[in-house]
Structure 1
Amino acid sequence: MPYQRISGSLSTPRVAVMIDMGNPFLNLTVDGFLKIGTVAAARAAAEEAYYVVKRGSISRHTVEHSLKKMCKEAAYWGTVAGVYVGMEYGAERIRGTRDWKNAMLGGALTGAIISSACEKGRDKIVVGAITGGAIATAAEFLNYLT
């Protein structure tokens, strides 16, 4: 059953939407998809707004192109985030501990999965796994610093 909660303050605006799918793995995956997908759509909208202002004109074609770009970016980055969050959670459940190694494993698995879906060749899949693991591990270490 869906559950929504929206809260905010003047110092740090915050909007939280929780969808209960009945399974923590699915909950986290959908949450990651929605959060990062929203960020990607907002980034694409800001970029398209900049180009509209730069050109000085707007047309129906421009609006349609912008909406398609927003949806495409949101779907792509939301999918990547959902896969990553799911892989990290899965690593945590399998290993029975919560540490930076889960981020590394989740990032590596996500990089390999996304690379295998997008690219051809074993070398690109390995590079995607290494890159995903490195980025996720670095992000996790940066979170520990703050």
Structure 2
Amino acid sequence: MDVRDMYEAGPPCVSRAVDGFVRIGMAGVAWGMFMGSYDAVKDGHVGVSRALYVTKSIARNGLGWGCFAGAYLGLNCGVETVRGKKDWINASLSGAITGALVSARTGSISKILGTSVLVSAIATAGDFLRPTQYPPTVYDPTPS
């Protein structure tokens, strides 16, 4: 395996999952900070009560969003590796599995199926919108 093959293969699955966890987890932290603060004021929390409410919101959103993204990206890479193809079916399968995992604790089969279909549809649509290369750059082995 030469450098070009390694570059085209992209980063390993664990790296993709951790990258997704960190990036989307940070978005969840921002969402938790702003919405937690808004909801705390709306609910009438002040002082230490408000700080605890916002802190819990930050932790809940950051971890939740990060775990969701990490699971999706790890599964997407794993499905891609097992199938040996880079196409929209990988996004559909990994979206369905991730949706089922997220809603599994509800215990309702209809909710699990609904979330699975919804996440799969969103992931498939997102797959059609993203660049075909990861990362979206052009490889030029000749030095400039």
TM-score class normalised by the smaller sequence: 0.7 to 0.9
> What residue identity is the alignment partner of 1:44?
G
Q: CA deviation at 1:31?
A: 1.4
SS at match of 2:130: helix
Q: Could you tell me how far apart the structure 1 residues matched to 2:101 and 2:63 are?
A: 16
Report the Cα offset of residue 123 of structure 1: 2.1
C-alpha contact 2:20 2:73 (8 A) present in aligned 1: yes
Distance 2:86 2:53 in 1: 42
* Distance of aligned partners of 1:94 and 1:131 in 2 relative to their CA distance in 1, 3 Å threshold: same
Per the alignment, residue 61 of structure 1 pairs with 49
If you compute each CA radius of gyration, which structure gives the higher value, 1 or 2?
Answer: 2
Partner of 1:141: 128
For residues 45 and 98 of structure 2, what CA distance do their matches in structure 1 show? Answer: 40
Choose which of 106, 120, 123 in structure 1 pairs with 2:110.
Answer: 123
List gaps (5 residues or longer) in structure 1: 1-22
Listed one character per residue, the Cα deviations across residues 74-106 of structure 1 (whole Å, up to 9, x for unaligned) are 111111111100110011101111122111111
**Alignment RMSD (CA, Å):** 2.3
Structure 2: which 5+ runs fail to align?
1-10, 132-144
Identity %: 36
Higher RCO (CA < 8 A, seq sep 6+): 2
Q: CA deviation at 1:24?
A: 1.9
With over 3 angstroms needed to count, the CA separation of the structure-2 counterparts of 1:44 and 1:34, relative to structure 1, is same
